[in-house]
Structure 1
């Protein structure tokens, strides 16, 4: 768990694992490397029952400014069939699934920009606290791609409701921490200096819970929240994203 990561900083404090997105020079943009490292951390969690809570945060001025779009043209150039892009999309889905289903309770500690795929990472966490300086945006349509990253759309619809998410996706408008709390994207909003205290107020009781009860409760919450989904259309997210990016790159090359 404490291996030498390049895009993450990982530290354990008792039953709490702190995972820091650690590429502040890119706004912690989500690259293939970052996804690989998150998968390694999340894959090891269930082998370590001593970890009850995972706290996900970002270094620098922003939590995460979205996917690293600089990788897309290179992946298409390497394989014009889009296999590399599909693999990247499937990795994103696996990371989000792992955040939602790991036995540990996952907490997103948010500040600054929380954009696109950064919103995706956040909403797949069980609990979310944001600084009052947070700014959110779902910019995908403005970038020429659908909201098809990691299964973000059904998660947002389930957590917040269709009407407001429809507006935010179609307009790609910015929204602040107060609006995010009204939408249940955030559970709490605090001054940035109080973020760590807010996280601690959650972690202190959580680490005292029965591991079996905590695990069962999380499994039940996930099962009941997904009970009304007849089919999982997010299986097509990687294909949709690949097709849209390929079309956009082809248009740009004309």
Structure 2
């Protein structure tokens, strides 16, 4: 008879995440539901802390979002604060570097990473889900990249080359240049979602993928993930995403010049990323 491992909590002080581990499965939940799980610097710091301290015994990492939506993207009020504090874009650049580090850590994670995507995944939220190996959504899941609508380049977390590799350049041009949302059916047809299920079956679908991974030898998965990432990197010889934070900061500093009267409270407008 198989016994269920006890739930273990991490000894980290986290502001924007809820994290627990059950044996070889690490569950990481973006936990700012009142703000649509906006990706703030605090959330990025939390994600880096969790990923940096991940136990070697972890074989599956499940990334989810609390509430109705996976993530509505970057924190727009924090974006404005960064530019007000440093009009040259320096603070925004530092935030972008964190975002790139988080996505790289998910992509290169030795565990199999699964994104549990409900509701909307916008901008930076889209990038976090895309950085995972597998993505499961519901019939109401949508993805969107609204950057150009907001006068910004699509440069966050190394998203563009990974998206091009996953679904192809022509499709990416359509999604990025029109800023249109992708519903679950289209997302699955493009392999942005590997599985789409009714909302009430979402956890069961994630559990099914988790159990499938755990039934197979751990060392085979580690080697295979390394090979997949290596082959992917070989196809991106012109990958210039290390410049993403510089490009974002440069464009934002030029086109989004805040004034002291810029509102600094929580924004109900469209997310930045």
Task: Provide TM-score, normalisation by structure 1.
Answer: 0.95
Question: Are residues 1:135 and 2:125 paired?
Answer: no
| Structure 1 equivalent of residue 66 of structure 2 | 59
Cα deviations by residue, 1:133-154 (Å, 9 ceiling, x for unpaired): 1122110000110000000000
TM-fit CA distance, 1:227: 1.1
Q: Which residue of 2 aligns with 1:193?
A: 200
Match for residue 19 of structure 1? 28
- Give how far 1:247 is off: 1.7
Structure 1 residues 235-250: aligned runs within 5 Å: 235-250=242-257
Aligned positions, number: 252
By relative contact order (CA 8 Å, sep 6+), the higher-ranking structure is: 2
Partner-residue secondary structure (3-state), 1:245: helix
- Choose which of 119, 126, 130 in structure 2 pairs with 1:112: 119
> Does residue 3 in structure 1 map to residue 17 in structure 2?
no
Deviation of 1:251 (Å) = 7.8
Alignment gaps of 5+ in structure 2: 1-9, 261-273
- Matched position secondary structure for 1:55: strand
**Residue 133 of structure 2 is aligned to residue 126 of structure 1:** yes
Q: Match of 1:114, SS?
A: strand
Residue segments in structure 1 that go unaligned for 5+ positions in a row: none
Q: Which has the higher helix share?
A: 1
- Secondary structure of the residue aligned to 1:250 is coil
Q: Aligned partners of 2:105 and 2:191: how far apart in 1?
A: 21
Deviation at 1:221, TM superposition (A): 0.5
Shift of 1:98: 0.3
State whether residues 161 and 236 of structure 2, in contact with CA within 8 Å, keep that contact through their aligned partners in structure 1: no
Does residue 1:92 correspond to 2:99, yes or no? yes
Cα distance in 2 between the residues matched to 1:164 and 1:81: 34
Structure-to-structure mapping, 1:38-49, within 5 angstroms: 38-45=47-54, 48-49=55-56
The whole-number CA distance in structure 1 between the counterparts of 2:106 and 2:121 is 17
Equivalent residue of 1:60, what SS? Answer: coil
Match of 1:34 in 2: 43
Tell whether the 8 Å contact from 1:72 to 1:245 is kept in structure 2 after alignment.
no
Q: Distance in 2 between matches of 1:2 and 1:144?
A: 40
2:166 match: 159
Runs of 4+ in 1 over 4 A off after TM superposition: none
